[in-house]
Amino acid sequence: MQFLLRYLPMFIDGFVMTVILTTVGLSVGFIIGVLAAIGDVYGGKVLSAIINAYVEFFRGSPLVVQLFIFYYSIPTLLNTLIDPFTAGCLVFILNSGAYQKGYIKGAIEAIGVDQMLAARSLGMTKFQAIRHVILPQALRIVIPSWTNEFCSLTKSTSVAIVITIRELTTVGYIVSAQTFRPMEVYAFVGLIYFLWIYAVVKMMDMLYKRVRIPGFIAEE
């Protein structure tokens, strides 16, 4: 196992890249997810159709294909070049945004039209009601689904190997090729993913309990 230490700086770089891709995808995807969910629930038919076309494209095609399209197809079409990192970020943002839209829409609908009605009865505009009544509740109950999306996206970023981004899995591939010890290398890589995801999931569980709405989740 000693040889792994020699490659530790590389693994750390790879891990940092994995965290960056996940964080960018999740956070910008979150903004897209919230806006898309609100647009789908409260916007008109046309807006809703556009949003769903976007969502279905990213949910309905393989991630690898999406990466190829953004790295090869679109730049070729536009007669330009794109660096792998930018292409990767775009895909993870749009892909995660599509999934998060589904989760957030579900949460908004679980909060229900009646809460909207109560807010409107006080004279709130639709926007004020969404901002002060619907979202504060929807974003609390969406945390478990959102945690799921974190787990899923973290592992999905390993697919970035196909467009040569040096994230954790790519680093594992390189080290394994140089050392001919795939067994130890991939076990190590898997362990890093596992520990990272486990730590974040535990944190999200704590957050969920801390901000829960009384009466919405079973209390001990």
Convert 98-130 into a string of H (helix), E (strand) and C (coil).
HHHHHHHHHHHHHHCHHHHHHHHHCCCCHHHHH
The b/e string for 167-195 (b: 16+ C-beta within 10 A; e otherwise) is bbbbbbbbbbeeeeeeeebeebbeebbee
Other Cβ atoms within 10 Å of 114 Cβ, number = 8
Nearer to another protein by Cβ, of 23 and 137: the residue is 137
By CB under 8 A, tell whether 121 contacts another protein. yes
Nearer to another protein by Cβ, of 1 and 210: the residue is 210
Task: Give the 3-state secondary structure of residue 158.
Answer: helix
Task: Return d(Cα 168, Cα 10) in angstroms, integer.
Answer: 9
- The correct pick among 2, 214, 218, 220 for binding another protein (CB under 8 A) is 214
Classify residue 191 by its DSSP letter: H
In the complex, minimum distance from the CB of residue 115 to another protein, in angstroms, rounded to a whole number: 7
Nearer to another protein by Cβ, of 44 and 123: the residue is 123
By CB under 8 A, tell whether 208 contacts another protein. no
By CB under 8 A, tell whether 195 contacts another protein. no
Phi, psi of 214 (to 5 degrees): -55, 135
By CB under 8 A, tell whether 124 contacts another protein. yes
By CB under 8 A, tell whether 123 contacts another protein. yes
Convert 179-201 into a string of H (helix), E (strand) and C (coil).
HCCHHHHHHHHHHHHHHHHHHHH
In the complex, minimum distance from the CB of residue 195 to another protein, in angstroms, rounded to a whole number: 34
Site map for another protein, 48-87, x if CB under 8 A?
A: ----------------------------------------
Contact (CB, 8 A) for 91 and 67: yes
Residues contacting another protein: total by CB under 8 A: 21
Instruction: Specify the stretch interacting with another protein by CB under 8 A; choose among 83-91, 124-132, 154-162, 202-210.
Output: 124-132
By CB under 8 A, tell whether 187 contacts another protein. no
Task: Give the 3-state secondary structure of residue 164.
Answer: coil
By CB under 8 A, tell whether 110 contacts another protein. no
Positions in the binding site for another protein (CB under 8 A): 114-115, 117-125, 128, 132-133, 136-137, 140, 213-216
